[in-house]
Chain A
């Protein structure tokens, strides 16, 4: 239990589901051949870490930030610009990390000091405004960021698909640079999630929960709430920027649509709430459900939409159109905020008979 920081899933079904997800992700290169499956698996890894870091804010401190994609974007762009400008070598990767992470942390510090002090309710609005300004800035500074086109770049030799590490004749599977990159993404995401689990189960994490439940009481107990909230904000930003770095490395590209847009912010929000706020495990479940739906629900909806239009039903073809999948997830989102405020994880824990299951809010 050391590795889980004394916070096991506390539900048999949940444990089973988590083990299945993690095993499936780990074995994707061998179980599901094809580029699409590997892409989906890598995206699930990146988003699980990103969503977990957002949950540190939303679920554990109760503050709604709309600037999380900004930090994600800073990470993505930092590595992309470094690799684009300096060429595909490890020095560029290091430069991107050394510039991106502190930049994200500094910005989080500035936003935290500025807006967490003013009023709790301002925080959501101010982060929304700052994030939108940053998005405009990123698309306008095209000499640096490539504007709307973003930046494509080459990876260092070792991580390229052409680099064969273990040839097919040895085990029947070819291990190339692409698969190495996938395991890099998988391992670092897993490490970040375990680290976040460590953070939320530390005394610091308990203070965050205390602030969420009753800020004034936490203040009265002598905790400097602004300090704790800002610290949590910086930690979340650091993880988000790291997830951005991983995402850019995987895609070999960083652009406004893949790393900065407001719709990614909404995706993250949906994943946290559907998975379960206030549980790091919820991030894994939420990211898996959402990204599988995003990639496979659409084709299902396409079939349903065609069937509905052939049956001559009004309206339904439009509502079931593959591009409208977000509509149904939005409805699911509202329903889960209302009926299952603790998300999938909270539900499963309750079903497992755990009395103090899920966070109470």
Chain B
């Protein structure tokens, strides 16, 4: 073993790149299978956009689980609430949505998204205080409480907005596609990719490069120690939970725009998808969650194109395959 001088930097842990290469390899493998380069590019862009949206929704869950050890089965409620709140803002500004100017459109969309995040974040505050606080450290009760919360939230949405599907049209300037040669890439997908990437980078920076992130990670490792150092870990975790809920709200708005409709049980299918992503990524790993989201979206898009019948169960097959390879998910963060 070589001696280290005191001034030497600490040896860096080895970077585990196999999971990062996985989606790249999958995408490259698909080129010959799909045959046409233009369809491949379109499908890949669709996968990336869908993956980023799923990532935004799943990142909140993975933060909450990985950092606070809280299993939130009601995460889908924040998604639906976010989408509904956005309809409140967008409805009176229908004219601005129809306007053929990117800036006018964004001037309405951005406040709508921010309000959705604020409302779902505030709801997160209430949920954490009322439902989660009494059951910290008890997984079984967490699952039951949050499932109950999901039922109540979904039924309240039905009571307030009614059971019908509410249309949520895309703004005019985000419709259509960029045409590059013979490849068409939908404009909204590009926006979704940009937002998803920005959020991924922001979370990584905060967690790994800021004092706040240091405290959060330390709190996960040893809660009592961080408390003994004088930091209010409870308040920190509350902030994490609210951030997770707000991200779910944002994801809900983006998904509603993608599907161009809002429905109180829109989160039911998404919840399953998000759980698969979180499991694939390794509970609590943001990087794993990001790769998992892209993999799930790729399997859905490529699978839907190549073998439509198989696409229905492709997510499960992907999950089984990944867990066979790495039983704790791509990146195992927690020892739980």
A interface with B by C-beta (< 8 Å)? 58, 62, 64, 114, 117-122, 124-126, 128-130, 132-133, 136-137, 140, 262, 266, 269, 273, 315, 318-319, 321, 323-324, 326-327, 329-331, 333-334, 337-338, 341, 361
- Interface assignment of B272: CB less than 8 Å from any CB of chain A: yes
| B-side interface mostly | helix
Q: Mark B119-161, 1 if CB is under 8 A from A, else 0.
A: 0000000000001001100011101110111011001101110
B109 to chain A, nearest CB (A): 29
When A136-B312, A318-B159, A327-B159 are in contact, do A62 and B140 touch as well, CB less than 8 Å? Answer: yes
Question: Per a CB cutoff under 8 Å, which of A124, A321, A326, A337 touches B71?
Answer: A124
When A118-B328, A119-B328, A137-B313 are in contact, do A124 and B143 touch as well, CB less than 8 Å? Answer: yes
Least CB separation from A333: chain B residue: B148
- Interface assignment of B275: CB less than 8 Å from any CB of chain A: yes
* B158-A324 in contact (CB<8A): yes
* B71-A269 in contact (CB<8A): no
Q: Apart from A114-B320, A132-B272, A330-B152, list 7 A-B contacts with CB within 8 A.
A: A119-B328, A119-B336, A133-B315, A319-B156, A326-B155, A327-B155, A327-B156
Residues from chain B with Cβ under 8 Å of A133 in the complex: 312-313, 315-316
Least CB separation from B156: chain A residue: A327
A-B contact pairs, 28 of them (CB 8 A): A64-B140, A118-B323, A118-B327, A120-B139, A121-B283, A121-B336, A122-B323, A124-B71, A125-B275, A125-B279, A129-B272, A129-B275, A129-B316, A129-B319, A133-B312, A133-B313, A136-B312, A323-B163, A326-B155, A327-B159, A330-B148, A334-B131, A334-B149, A337-B135, A337-B145, A338-B134, A338-B145, A361-B140
Least CB separation from A332: chain B residue: B148
| A-side interface mostly | helix
Give the number of residue pairs across the A-B interface with Cβ within 8 Å: 103
B254 to chain A, nearest CB (A): 22
* A326-B316 in contact (CB<8A): no
Question: Per a CB cutoff under 8 Å, which of A64, A126, A269, A337 touches B279?
Answer: A126
Max count, chain A CB within 10 A of own CB: residue among B71, B141, B152, B160: B152
Residues from chain B with Cβ under 8 Å of A117 in the complex: 327
- Interface assignment of B185: CB less than 8 Å from any CB of chain A: no
| Complex CA distance for A129 and B73, rounded to whole angstroms | 13
- Interface assignment of B268: CB less than 8 Å from any CB of chain A: yes
* B275-A337 in contact (CB<8A): no
* B312-A125 in contact (CB<8A): no
* A121-B71 in contact (CB<8A): yes
B287 to chain A, nearest CB (A): 19
Residues from chain B with Cβ under 8 Å of A269 in the complex: 144, 147
* B148-A334 in contact (CB<8A): yes
For the complex of A and B, the 3 pairs showing the least CB-CB separation, nearest first, are: A327-B155, A330-B151, A334-B148
Residues from chain A with Cβ under 8 Å of B141 in the complex: 337, 341
| Complex CA distance for A8 and B144, rounded to whole angstroms | 27
* B316-A318 in contact (CB<8A): no
| Complex CA distance for A334 and B309, rounded to whole angstroms | 39
Least CB separation from B312: chain A residue: A136
| Complex CA distance for A128 and B151, rounded to whole angstroms | 16
Question: Per a CB cutoff under 8 Å, which of B143, B151, B276, B328 touches A64?
Answer: B143
Residues from chain A with Cβ under 8 Å of B145 in the complex: 334, 337-338
B330 to chain A, nearest CB (A): 14
A297 to chain B, nearest CB (A): 14
| Complex CA distance for A329 and B147, rounded to whole angstroms | 12
